[in-house]
Amino acid sequence: MKFFDRITNYFSSNHGKHKNAQSIIPSRLNLLLWIVGILLLMLAGRLFYLQVLNGSSYKAEVKRSDTTIQTNNVQRGMIYDSRGRVIVGNQTHQAITYTKSSDVTADQLYKIANRLGKYITVSNSDTRLTDRNEQDYYLANKDNLKRIVKKLNLSKDASDDDQYDAALKYLKSHPSEWHLSSHEKSNARIYAAMTGAYSLSTTYIKKSGVTSRELAEVGEHLNQMPGVKIGTAWTRNYPQGKNFQSLTGTVSTTGLPSDQVNSLLSQGYSRSDSVGQSYLEKMFQGTLAGSKSQTQVTTRGNKVTDETVKYPGKKGDNLVLTINAKFQKRVQQILEQNYSSAGISYSSGVYAVVMNPHTGAIYAMAGIDRNIKTGKQTVDEIGAINHPITMGSVVKGATIMGGLMSGVITPSDNTLTDQPIKVAGTSTKSSWFNKTGSANMALSAPMALEVSSNSYMMQLIMKEGGMNYKPGAQLTLKPSIFAKERQYFNMFGLGQKTGIDLPGETAGYNGPSTQKHIGSALDLAYGNYDGYTVIQLAQYMSTIANGGNRMRPYVVKEIRGSKSNGKLGRVVSTTQPQVQFTIPASKEDFDLIRQGLYLVTHGTNSYVTAKSLGSAKPSISGKTGTAETVTNGHQTSTISFAGYSPSKNPQVVVALAIPGVTNENGGANLNMAKQIFSAYWKMVQDSKSTTND
């Protein structure tokens, strides 16, 4: 019985286990089916939400069009001379451009740049390549970025930006571990130009020197490079010669200048834009740049569906200068031909300005900058406004006016004796012709100008300071005499900016003005202390020539638009002559000074200083100058001249200076002046149109 009981129990237990196994399998299947069912319900709910509840909005989003404005560059305004001759023009080139789409990624830009790099080569003259540009291009290759990041052992929480910044830092500190080939550098320039562009703005990839082969290959593969196009670019040319660049300035060729990037970007410029870098190009950037064209671009998804020109752009307005290009070149030539005769071993250059005394218009501004160490000479037309020079006796007309206005002399009582000036504690100072006192003579104010008397000018200053000169007496002048002297000089424009419409003008140089330097007040009286620019010298002489009005010099006569054929168009604005100051002196005071300036060139005294100009027709009045200087330990001189013509009805002023010469008696300053006046009457104004005296 027990045996059968055991058998029965065995089969009963095994049968129960089998039933349990069978019951477990369906329950698992049921659970799986329930899960699948729930997921299907969720999917159905999501589809219901997308297609039924929000289907219309998503359809609208797919069909939605984006409208943005794309900008393109326009031709820069040109610069003309007073006769309508082009000084600075534009030369048209076929160019490779890129218009950046609104949703392009850095990776896509990298691929486009590399593809374009197969067909063109871009040099630094097109896009300036910086170290950062090279690093960005190197890391744009994902493999390079991963390799560098792997070396850094950064935290797992480091963001993509943190990783990139760390990679940049690594490249900078490990330059030997990476490099770009010349081909890769060309591609890097392309990539830099593309990444630097604003969304939907057009930038130049290569604006000049594009070969016919490059044009053909790029054109053939345009569909593979979204945004790349063949367009037109302009670069500056100089029909009258590149020498004019030192006056008109230059335009950047590799995008915005690095020292002005932030300022210009805030004004709406793109990084690749060309802008004026110096002088007229820089000062009139807003006028010359024009207005970019605007095209409304409609996109659907990633495709452009429509382009509509909303504003065709406006070519930059043109500058018309007061300068006569042919006369300007002739004045520059005159300086070059006569410069060496002055003895220029230690000379730093020569500068000249030709000016209308009644309006301030500049007819010519020429110059040579000379490197004293190497002897190399370069054209430096703008040096006339930014090189202060100790001019010498040429400024004595202002000293005479100071004496008249202070009342120490009058038009009817102005005679003083030329004699060596000896005051206690200083060395003897004298006129060039009377160093020993053997040529003492009574001089009126006009005669003092005729013979260029230093003694006369020093005595005037002492009188203005309340001192009656006696040989050997103590110099009792106070430091305030410096300010008093300079006040009279400033009225003529000497020692302060003239306000000319060119950047970079300097005010000049004032020597120390303390009691310790009081003896130098005497040197200041005859132009041997402070420094002035040649443009100031021209303004000073113009003020005498026109009877007391200090006119603001200017070189831009008009701003004009362009006709459809590219020629000069309507006048936008005209520069009006501006009187900066009227000297409160009488006609008799000015007549006295003008009489002296006439005697400088036509006088009969044996010590007359510019007799060689007396034969010129129309007649010339003016003043020479010689200042004693020291250059690199050598005794040198500045020789200068400022004058006007004709003497009775002045129409033109010429001012020039040659610092650091060793042959002050060679007459280079007078030869230059005479030839410049002659060229003016031949090339700018007919001498028959004015009185010939």
Which residues are part of the catalytic machinery?
393
Q: Catalogue the E-assigned strands of 531-667.
A: 549-551, 556-562, 568-574, 579-582, 621-631, 634-645, 652-661
Structure tokens at 7: 């058998």
Q: How far apart are the first and last CA of the chain?
A: 165
* CA gyration radius, the chain: 40
Structure tokens at 152: 């850094």
Structure tokens at 523: 């040197």
The amino acid occupying position 105 is: T
Q: How many other CB atoms are there within 10 angstroms of residue 502's CB atom?
A: 27
- Alpha carbons within 13 angstroms on the beta-carbon side of residue 269 total 21
CA distance 645 to 651: 6
> What does residue 421 show for φ and ψ, rounded to 5 degrees?
-100, 115
- Residue written as token pair 């020993």: 436
Structure tokens at 224: 């593979």
DSSP per-residue letters across 543-574: HHHHTSEEEPPBSEEEEEEE-TTSSEEEEEEE
Q: Are 411 and 592 a contacting pair, CB within 8 Å?
A: yes
Q: How many other CB atoms are there within 10 angstroms of residue 436's CB atom?
A: 9
Q: Are 222 and 228 a contacting pair, CB within 8 Å?
A: yes
CA-to-CA separations, 29 to 16, 19, 37, 39, 596, in angstroms, rounded: 21, 16, 12, 15, 124
Q: Which residues pair with 318 in a beta bridge?
A: 560
Q: Are 102 and 226 a contacting pair, CB within 8 Å?
A: no
- Alpha carbons within 13 angstroms on the beta-carbon side of residue 117 total 22
Structure tokens at 274: 């060309």
CA distance 357 to 370: 29
| Helix residue ranges per DSSP H, 355-479 | 383-386, 396-406, 445-451, 454-464
Q: Are 324 and 83 a contacting pair, CB within 8 Å?
A: yes
Number of H helices, E strands in the chain: 22, 20
| Residues 6+ away with beta carbon under 8 Å from 489 | 395, 398, 402, 495, 530
Residues composing the chain: 693
Q: Are 395 and 530 a contacting pair, CB within 8 Å?
A: no
Nearest Cα to Cα of residue 553 among 571, 534, 530: 534
Structure tokens at 36: 């699948």
CA distance 535 to 556: 15
CA distance 167 to 152: 8
- Residue written as token pair 């060596």: 420
What is the enclosing helix (H) or strand (E) of 662? none
Q: Are 414 and 439 a contacting pair, CB within 8 Å?
A: no
How remote is the C-alpha of 215 from its chain's centroid? 34
CA distance 419 to 448: 12
Structure tokens at 239: 């029909």
Nearest Cα to Cα of residue 597 among 447, 414, 459: 447
CA distance 588 to 411: 6
